[in-house]
Amino acid sequence: MVLGLVIFAYAGYIIFSESDPVELIDELEDAATEMVEKSNKNIQLEAAAKGKTERIMEKFEREEKDIMSKFEKQEKEMIEKFNKKKKGN
């Protein structure tokens, strides 16, 4: 849509301008190319950010799982110690 507006604006400029139409078309092509390059760069940055976020989340989930395993192990040990003391008395 934006590209359409740019093309429309340049077409109007060409019609009412005394400038060389070929030069104006070249400017339009350059502007369109620049917009595409910026768009591609933004897509690449978004993909990189998404990948980094996914790696961070995976690491967080692994660490969370490890911590929960340690808590469960400690809980079992404490219950066993309590039961041994209870049987001993």
Predicted TM-score (pTM) of the model is 0.50
- 60-70 per-position pLDDT tens digit: 999 999 999 99
Label residue 1 by pLDDT band (50, 70, 90): low
Say how far residue 5 (Cα) sits from the centre of its chain: 29
DSSP H or E run through 76: helix 21-88
CA distances from 34 to 9, 31, 46, 57, 74 (A): 17, 5, 18, 34, 60
DSSP letter at 3 equals: H
Q: Is the pLDDT of residue 19 over 70?
A: no
User: Does residue 10 sit in helix, strand or coil?
Assistant: helix
